Structure 1
Amino acid sequence: MGMLKLEARHLLAAAGAAVMISAPASAATLEVHIGSFKNGGTIPSKYAFCVPAAEGHTTGGANINPRISWSKGPRGTKSYAIIVYDNKAPAEHREMMNKEGVTMTADIKRHNFYHWVLVDIPPNVTSIKEGADSNARVVHGKPATPSAAGVKGLNDYTKVMAANDATKGQYYGYDGPCPPWNDDVVHAYHFAVYALSASSLDLPKDFDGPAAEDAMKGKILAQGETVGLYTQNPTKGAKASK
């Protein structure tokens, strides 16, 4: 995906337009680090839900969560939350996704797609190990089993898989990138971490990204993010696995 480097500056500027949860002006900044790529870098395929393929354009990926770490929150931090989202997911014309002879252009309306929702992370935890939350792509989704740290929420594969009996289910925790292979837009994945003034957001079992964001309002002491780029479109530099 060498072409991504040529577009990274432009894409990061556009990604910056995606608004993180509103926080007070006094909110501090967390330094967020991903073990396998830098801010604006390409997300390695082993962290993806789907990867480019020579036949059929796409196939299932290893779907391992990357290692994520962050700087210690300010005084009063009682928990952390991780929200990973793609702010360039198609919000319309989904019938065009992965369709032969069709290109999804940049003018198609976009919205957030949530890939990882983890809240109530204890204040003494400032990293999640690679593979600790996801080490495989699981048909029908991973259950809400206890996390290595924190409480898992539903990601948006729960919604997009709902109409397919072969894949529908509740997808908890991390599930990585799977942008349409015919999308002309390189997708930007925001790995955002929040330091919160509450030890628990007291969310129900089936909470999702928007519910977590709503519960965090008024509780954010600090926040930060790293953005990774990913595409399955060969015209944007994607290369099929051998």
Structure 2
Amino acid sequence: MYAKGNSSPHLSWSKGPAGTLGYAVTCYDPDAPTGSGFWHWTVFDIPAHVTELSSGAGTGDSGRLPKGALTARNDYGSRGFGGAAPPPGDGPHRYVFTVYAVDREKLGPDADAAPALVGFHLRFHAIARGQLIAEYEDPGE
């Protein structure tokens, strides 16, 4: 499931439960050697009628994100999807893709919010979630 470079993978999900007014999608590496993990992608305010993001949707200004969706800065310091890049020889890293069904159309933060702040809002407004965990490792030389 590793998306080479900085091209986000195709993701699709089923319609959320009753009360779903929007979605958010995150990609997080809990194995990054930072003490706090590493956020690769945070997109929110996805309209409730949307149930997929095409491959490459998270690539900068691709124009593939749904109208109204916002992307927070990733831990690389840019907007959009930041590809897997574990340190060589660090072992396998998990990339946790999570789709959240939320109980509001607009989550609250703006696109300048840190992923942790978006996560704080998701903690109180997510009514369902689904996860896909991919692994990638750079064995080094």
Partner of 1:96: none
| Match status 1:117 vs 2:24 | no
| Match status 1:67 vs 2:21 | no
Partner of 1:127: 52
| Mapped contact 2:56–2:64 kept (Cα < 8 A) | no
Unaligned runs of 5+ residues in structure 1 are: 1-36, 38-42, 49-60, 92-109, 135-141, 159-170, 236-242
Letter in 1 for 2:86: P
Q: 1:84 to 1:212 in 2, by over 3 A?
A: same
Structure-2-length-normalised TM-score: 0.90
Partner of 1:153: 72
- CA deviations over 1:169-197 (Å, ceiling 9, x no partner): xx0011110110131x2100000010000
- Tell me, in whole angstroms, the C-alpha distance in 1 between the residues paired with 2:125 and 2:57: 27
- Tell me, in whole angstroms, the C-alpha distance in 2 between the residues paired with 1:204 and 1:81: 13
Structure-1-length-normalised TM-score: 0.54
| Mapped contact 2:70–2:110 kept (Cα < 8 A) | no
- CA deviations over 1:186-237 (Å, ceiling 9, x no partner): 10000001000011012133112101001122211100100000011147xx
| Match status 1:211 vs 2:117 | yes
- Tell me, in whole angstroms, the C-alpha distance in 2 between the residues paired with 1:200 and 1:146: 20
Q: 1:200 to 1:146 in 2, by over 3 A?
A: farther
Unaligned runs of 5+ residues in structure 2 are: none
- Work out which of the two has the higher radius of gyration on C-alpha atoms and give 1 or 2: 1
- Tell me, in whole angstroms, the C-alpha distance in 2 between the residues paired with 1:226 and 1:178: 18
Alignment of 1:49-128 (within 5 A): 61=5, 63-91=6-34, 110-128=35-53
Letter in 2 for 1:177: A
SS of equivalent to 1:157: coil
Higher helix share: 1
- Tell me, in whole angstroms, the C-alpha distance in 2 between the residues paired with 1:177 and 1:147: 21
User: Which of the residues 166, 174, 177 maps onto 2:84?
Assistant: 177
Partner of 1:201: 107
| Mapped contact 2:93–2:137 kept (Cα < 8 A) | yes
Which portions of structure 1, spanning 4 or more consecutive aligned residues, are displaced by more than 4 angstroms?
none
CA shift at 1:114, angstroms?
0.4
- Tell me, in whole angstroms, the C-alpha distance in 1 between the residues paired with 2:45 and 2:110: 12
Aligned pairs, number: 139
Q: Aligned residues: percent identity? A: 33
- Tell me, in whole angstroms, the C-alpha distance in 1 between the residues paired with 2:131 and 2:111: 25
